[in-house]
Amino acid sequence: MKKKVVGIFVCTLLIATVLPISAQLKINEIKNDYQTNLLNDSWYATYGGKGNDGFYAVQQAPDGGYVAAGLTNSIGAGSYDAWLVKTDSAGTPEWEKTFGGTGDDRFHQIQRLSDGYIIAGRSDGDIYVVKVDDDGNESWSRTYGGNKDDYAYGIWQTNDTGYIVTGITESYAPQDLYHMWVIKTDENGNEIWNETYGRDNYFSECKGARQTSDGGYILTGQTWLLNEWCFWYLVKTDEDGNELWNKTFEGTHDGVTVSIEETADGDFIISGSKGPLILGIVGCNAWLIKIDIHGNIEFEKQYGYKLISDTFWCAIQTDDGGYIGTGSRLGLGSLLNIQLPWFPLWSKICVLKVDADGNQEWGGSPPRNGVGRFIRQTSDDGYIVSGYTRNYPNFGDGVLFTIDSEGNFP
């Protein structure tokens, strides 16, 4: 288990620090911090209580509001509870729900469905999947796992209205390792098959997956030894999860990938960071890679400065054919020539818009420190970003903010 903790630290850019500690007010009373831009209606808001709170993902609701998923220990039954927060279109909270027991529970990914939401994360060492209606009421929940540590990073609905759940397993990996784990379920969360993927004697984790035109799946993540940097790891499977091929991009392609999205032309955009780190803190660039269905790289772009740590936690294609990503900057400096005051260990949420070839168009940051974990385009052609505030040695609250279609920030 000690090896596992070290591996996560080195290869996921301080992912252990994703557990924010919130400010002083409960969400049902008032937002902790709220700022609007009166010229373009963009807004920035934080949410949380006196404990640890943060958002990993967000989706727009049918009424134009938003549903954010993450974790909290300000309220609920356990050390951490999985957390859903519903807001209106201006970020005003409407309701919150917690899920889980007395252990460690959290949501990592949420997807909008025709009749509610499907959410995945972990529950006290097992993969945790919950289906809820539009009001956040639980329709059903499932756990998957063994007698060791298992975790879900993502969930997506498949063409047959079932789901594909991706993450890591220690329970079903070789001794003292953990490997990519993919679970295919029906529409009610009943397991149809599960498969593990990984290299001998290496740690491997699956951060994202998408169904391909042949009915199979393409998986992205990373693989590493404890005394090596991470390498980008790509796996292609058939519809039953049987591995067809894998690619490990080493040398000039070392780095961490954390999201994959299908593009309009049937290819895929992958986001992450490209190392190596210096002392586990600085030296990475934000990274975008576009691949075809065979895993061939169509373009690869880096953004940032080598003397600080820049990363994309999520990137998507935009309606104009370009791409937009959100992530964080840890260290001294400024992103996209935006001059900001920095303390060396402050982390700033960053957003970057690029064209179809990966060339920078615009970018910026909201008014507070933090990490941007997820981004989606909204019905008005703007964007919603979720994450959490962070200011070492302390953490902060869950964060939501919008950007208009022209790139204006709150």
Give the domains, in start order, of the chain with CATH numbers. Answer: 2-403 (2.130.10.10)
User: Which of 21-30, 136-145, 310-319 shows the lowest mean pLDDT across its residues?
Assistant: 21-30
| Calpha distance 44→25 (Å, rounded) | 16
Tell me what pLDDT residue 51 has: 82
Between 2 and 363, residue with greater pLDDT = 363
Q: Three-state SS for 304?
A: coil
Check if the beta carbon of residue 99 is closer than 8 Å to that of residue 143. no
The one-letter code for the residue type at 310 is D
Q: Which helix (H) or strand (E) holds 156?
A: strand 150-157
Tell me what pLDDT residue 171 has: 96
| Calpha distance 247→225 (Å, rounded) | 16
Above 60 in pLDDT, residue 181?
yes
Mean residue pLDDT of the chain comes to 85
Above 70 in pLDDT, residue 146?
yes
Tell me what pLDDT residue 24 has: 32
Neighbours of 264 (CB within 10 A): 9
| Calpha distance 8→246 (Å, rounded) | 22
CA count, 13 A, side-chain hemisphere, 9: 12
Between 240 and 7, residue with greater pLDDT = 240
Tell me what pLDDT residue 20 has: 30
Tell me what pLDDT residue 29 has: 44
The residue to which tokens 């990938």 are assigned: 257
Check if the beta carbon of residue 27 is closer than 8 Å to that of residue 96. yes
Check if the beta carbon of residue 171 is closer than 8 Å to that of residue 197. no
21: pLDDT confidence band, cut at 50, 70 and 90? very low
Tell me what pLDDT residue 107 has: 97
- Which tokens go with 112? 């909008």
- Single out the residue of 257, 268, 266 nearest to residue 220, CA to CA: 257
Above 90 in pLDDT, residue 187?
yes
Tell me what pLDDT residue 408 has: 93
Check if the beta carbon of residue 197 is closer than 8 Å to that of residue 219. yes
Above 70 in pLDDT, residue 392?
no
Neighbours of 395 (CB within 10 A): 24
Question: Could you tell me which residues come within 8 angstroms of residue 197 by beta carbon, excluding any fewer than 6 positions away?
Answer: 179, 180, 182, 204, 206, 219, 235, 243, 246
Neighbours of 95 (CB within 10 A): 13
Span 310-339, average pLDDT = 77
Q: What is the pTM of this model?
A: 0.88
Tell me what pLDDT residue 259 has: 94
- Which tokens go with 281? 């803190």
Start-to-end CA distance of the chain, whole Å, equals: 43
Span 256-272, average pLDDT = 93
Question: Could you tell me which residues come within 8 angstroms of residue 252 by beta carbon, excluding any fewer than 6 positions away?
Answer: none
Between 135 and 252, residue with greater pLDDT = 135
Check if the beta carbon of residue 338 is closer than 8 Å to that of residue 365. yes
| Calpha distance 125→104 (Å, rounded) | 8
Q: Three-state SS for 337?
A: helix
Largest CA distance in the chain: 58
